[in-house]
Chain A
Amino acid sequence: MADNNNLTEGLVYNYTSATEPPTRDTRIEPTNAFLGSCHSLKRALGQGCAKFNSRYFSQGIGCQLILALGIVRTFQNVVTIIHGPLGCASNNIGLAGFNKTSRALKGKPANDVIWIHTNLNEADVIGGGVEKLKNAILYAEREYRPDVIVIGNSCVPGIIGDDIDSLVDELTPEVSAKLVPVHCEGFRSRFVASGYDAAYHGLLKKLVDPPLRLASVLTGSKEEEARLEKIRRENSRTVNLLNVGSTSYGDEVELSRILSSLGLKVNVLPLYGNIDEIARMGEAALNISICATHDDYLVGHLKERFGTPYVIDTLPIGLKNTNQWLRAIGKALSLETETEKLIELETNQLLEAVEPFKKTLAGKSLWVGGGETRIFTTAEFFQSLGMKVLGLKPHNFDRFAIPMLDDIEDPETAVAVAAGQPAEEIVYLKRLKPDLYVGHGGANGWVLRLGIPTIPLYGQSQNHMGYSGAYELARKAARALLNTNLAKKVAANVTLPFKQKWYDSDPKNNIKEIPNEETLRSSVL
């Protein structure tokens, strides 16, 4: 089976012997500070510019620990221990109910989400906190009998040098839970996506078993051969659909439906998975990513270590990208004919279904903000319904989304790369006044205060992926435009915390451009 994964060309994943993977800062070299257009961003990245850019005025850029825990916290029968002071991941409080409901929605045991803070204090900063961590691990084992205990390491132990890996080695024979250290100290990376790699590094080292097919050479008995043959046959049609924190149950049902209609058996993993399912991740015929920004470390590693093939292409949002995603899968599994038949059927049905919404949406303008692959695919879909894309705000930008720049019709469409921080985006929005904003969690409230109606980019009860997701997106956008009173009323009565001179300024002046030395040298020559 030939892999054809251009997005990961040249990347290597042989980091298992290290306690932690390299951060995205060095492994992928993204940027989170760039203001320009689709056109100028493509040029800047091509020249290796932008990756060192920073800001004079900065707002929060997020913490990789939160994204790492966002993955492992969902596993079944898991306890997460946050090795740090009380604040690290204290936002779990706001998400615990959400995760519990997601478990129920996805048909998993709806248990409480359990986490422990090692509660490092001033004395621990001097004396080290390993003893507290040990007590926390033993408490978790005794009180909850979990399958897995994940330890998320925070800045304080990272700076003072607590050796959590030695503690894990020491305790592994004593506890029945699998112990997974995750090195996700916030200060180490300017890119939160490093947290995905940190979490998957721990999972790959401690939870994933070598596939059974490798074991087959060791066996001789006929019965054993027959058993393995059966497993092999099943595995040849079994694919892993890799979910992310923002895939809803509706998304998972829809994507599984599509893949099942190609005759495939679909495991949805690894979020909300149990330890046995995760252990067997390497056995599938194919690992299917729905987001390169999220998964490359996981699928790349499984391929490099066990030979498990993968597809990492686009994010299946909207007609064009769902079809593109499906074609990549069809090709990898030599199911091209079946795939084309399916695409033809689904395309015709969808186009007919969204027709009524086009009347409301055509000619209206929008801005999309959030994760790079999700916003470009979402924008492309609304563009295909006749909307005008005024701009995009990716939280970071890197190789995984470069091909998507070409999907935006007008190359001069604004792009404001910023992780979370809304200051520059707000200036763009105030000037461009889009009819609709599609935004990431934490962004929509500010935009409503600006008077612009919003719909969420993703959500627990939002199906945005696949064909049904495209229909839902169109339906939702059209509904949002039926009544925009809330945004109007709010904007007339509340203010955002900016000075007028910020609104009047050119936000590009806030970016500290640090040119790539090689580019400098070549321009001098």
Chain B
Amino acid sequence: MESNFIERAKSSCALGGAIATISSLPRCVPIVHASGGCAQTLSATYNLGSGYKGPGYCSGTMTPTTSVAENNIVFGGEERLEEQIASTIEVMDGDLYFVVTGCQVEIIGDNAANVTARFQDPKSPVLYASTPGFLGDGFKGYEAVLSSLVANFITPVAKKDKKVVNLLGLMPGQDVFYKGNLANLVYLLGQLGIKANTFFGHDETVEKIKTYGQAGHNLVFSAIHGQQVAKTFEDSHSIPSITVDLPIGDTGTEAFLRAIAEPLKIPKVKLEEVIAKERSYYYGYFQRFLEIYGDLDYQRYAVISADINYAFPLARFVSEDLGWIPHLTVLNEEPEDPGDSARYAEKFKTLTAKVEAKLVFEANTGQLLKRIKESWPLNRNEKYYNQLAPLFIIGSSLDGSVAQKLGAMFLPISYPVTNRAILDRGYTGYRGGLTLAEDIFSALVSNR
């Protein structure tokens, strides 16, 4: 696909995504074969920009890196890489080491795969993925790292366990709430008797990850991202995939559970029992806010500015659970395949609010205000003007000034989030939907 410049891209490059992914795997140590600044700079993109998630086990300034300089660019950096891998295994305490590459060494043609293959000690496994920044955004690095892990590290298992699933598509960092989202999904699937492998969740280990070839299915929580990993699982482990939307709140979670029930062979009784139980919990708390919602008219026009993983799920939540007007969704990335874009647009037709839920693709952050203005008739100094208000914008921290200009209430959720600190908060499932409702309602009452 022809690419253009991007104003304030809400991502990093492939290497940035790779480092974020590796440093979120349990006790996994990245080895970055690139210039001296890449590891630190790219780490900071997610360590700060993702609700201050921090460097994890080993990223940021801690990242081992070859720090190639001009002489390596001229003479090649393979020797330096070999030295760095060997010394990293000596110094850093990892259950898995992961060599990833930057633009400089890929352009000069270093064969990092060959160098990595020289390290065959099973006690210190070393994997490799090609991740130069020019491959594209952070998701590209997530795909490359996990695909390598799936193809080269996870043990093939002939007999699959139908009660086990692998969760894919939630990229650490790019999904600011990935930890909490995964924990909520583990809980929810656990209610159905399904064990969920998360790779990045709280009690994962490299030893466990090695066994994930036993899963009966992959659940991919993204129409686009994680699909390459899923395909690698399918090719090298014969594990089929189910693509679903991130389940948030009552409507989203019910749709999710019903979509997976059949392929995962969940008994109908069990399914209905879990939905009823979780829904009762959800509305038991949800109703606490109804007095102020009703008394102060907290129905809002909604504008969502988000990446592809969050855009539709958030629009669905505000439309179907909160009863808001899902006026406009601005998708911060355009799928490479126009077919994917068309399929994504179709999802918005399922929303039941009696308006056309508009969807536009816009990668340039600075164009959000213009997109919102284009979506609504201008005020031509009419005495009676039906304005786009009251308005609530759910976006990223970079969209805050647009909300300010429009006098809209605002909650940053989609990456980057720099004005909130996120620890174990998650928005998936019924429980996560409550947390999201809590955050949105808190924004509404924040001036009281």
* A interface residue numbers (CB < 8 A to B): 56-66, 81, 84-97, 112, 114-122, 124-125, 132-133, 135-136, 139, 143-144, 155-156, 159-160, 186-190, 192, 419-423, 442-443, 445-446, 497-499, 501-502, 510
Q: Are A156 and B45 in contact (CB under 8 A)?
A: no
Interchain residue pairs with CB less than 8 A apart (30): A57-B87, A58-B67, A60-B67, A62-B40, A63-B38, A86-B13, A86-B138, A88-B13, A90-B11, A90-B41, A93-B12, A93-B398, A94-B45, A112-B401, A114-B366, A116-B6, A118-B5, A122-B135, A132-B4, A156-B107, A188-B69, A422-B61, A442-B44, A443-B61, A497-B57, A498-B92, A499-B90, A499-B93, A501-B90, A502-B91
Q: Are A115 and B134 in contact (CB under 8 A)?
A: no
Which residues of chain B have C-beta atoms less than 8 A from A192's C-beta? 37
Shortest Cβ distance from A112 into B: residue: B401
Q: Give the distance in Å from the alpha carbon of A84 to the alpha carbon of B70 in the complex.
A: 18
Which residues of chain B have C-beta atoms less than 8 A from A96's C-beta? 8, 397-398, 418
Which residues of chain B have C-beta atoms less than 8 A from A61's C-beta? 36-37, 67
Q: Mark B39-64, 1 if CB is under 8 A from A, else 0.
A: 11111110111000011011011111
Which residues of chain B have C-beta atoms less than 8 A from A97's C-beta? 397, 418-419
Q: Are A62 and B62 in contact (CB under 8 A)?
A: no
Q: Are B133 and A422 in contact (CB under 8 A)?
A: no
Shortest Cβ distance from A446 into B: residue: B62
Min CB–CB distance A179 → chain B (angstroms): 15
Add 13 more A-B contacts to A59-B62, A94-B48 (CB < 8 A).
A57-B84, A60-B40, A63-B35, A66-B41, A86-B133, A88-B13, A90-B11, A121-B3, A121-B135, A188-B69, A497-B94, A498-B91, A499-B90
Which residues of chain A have C-beta atoms less than 8 A from B416's C-beta? 93-94
Min CB–CB distance B39 → chain A (angstroms): 4
Q: Are A498 and B93 in contact (CB under 8 A)?
A: yes
Q: Are B12 and A87 in contact (CB under 8 A)?
A: yes
* B interface residue numbers (CB < 8 A to A): 3-16, 27, 29, 32, 35-45, 47-49, 54-55, 57-58, 60-70, 73, 83-84, 87-88, 90-94, 102-104, 107-108, 132-138, 366, 397-398, 401, 416, 418-419
Min CB–CB distance A151 → chain B (angstroms): 12
Known: A61-B37, A65-B37, A499-B92. A119 touches B12 (CB 8 A): no
Q: Give the distance in Å from the alpha carbon of A354 to the alpha carbon of B9 in the complex.
A: 47
Q: Are A499 and B7 in contact (CB under 8 A)?
A: no
Q: Are A93 and B49 in contact (CB under 8 A)?
A: yes
Which residues of chain A have C-beta atoms less than 8 A from B92's C-beta? 497-499, 502
Shortest Cβ distance from B105 into A: residue: A187
Q: Are A119 and B3 in contact (CB under 8 A)?
A: yes
Q: Give the distance in Å from the alpha carbon of A155 to the alpha carbon of B32 in the complex.
A: 16
A-B interface, 5 closest residue pairs, ranked by CB to CB distance from nearest: A63-B37, A87-B13, A94-B48, A85-B133, A61-B36
Q: Give the distance in Å from the alpha carbon of A94 to the alpha carbon of B44 in the complex.
A: 7
Q: Give the distance in Å from the alpha carbon of A62 to the alpha carbon of B35 in the complex.
A: 9
Which residues of chain A have C-beta atoms less than 8 A from B38's C-beta? 60, 63, 87, 186
Which residues of chain B have C-beta atoms less than 8 A from A112's C-beta? 366, 398, 401
Known: A121-B136, A497-B58. A57 touches B88 (CB 8 A): yes
Q: Are B36 and A190 in contact (CB under 8 A)?
A: yes
Which residues of chain B have C-beta atoms less than 8 A from A81's C-beta? 5
Min CB–CB distance B61 → chain A (angstroms): 4
Which residues of chain B have C-beta atoms less than 8 A from A65's C-beta? 37
Which residues of chain B have C-beta atoms less than 8 A from A499's C-beta? 90-93
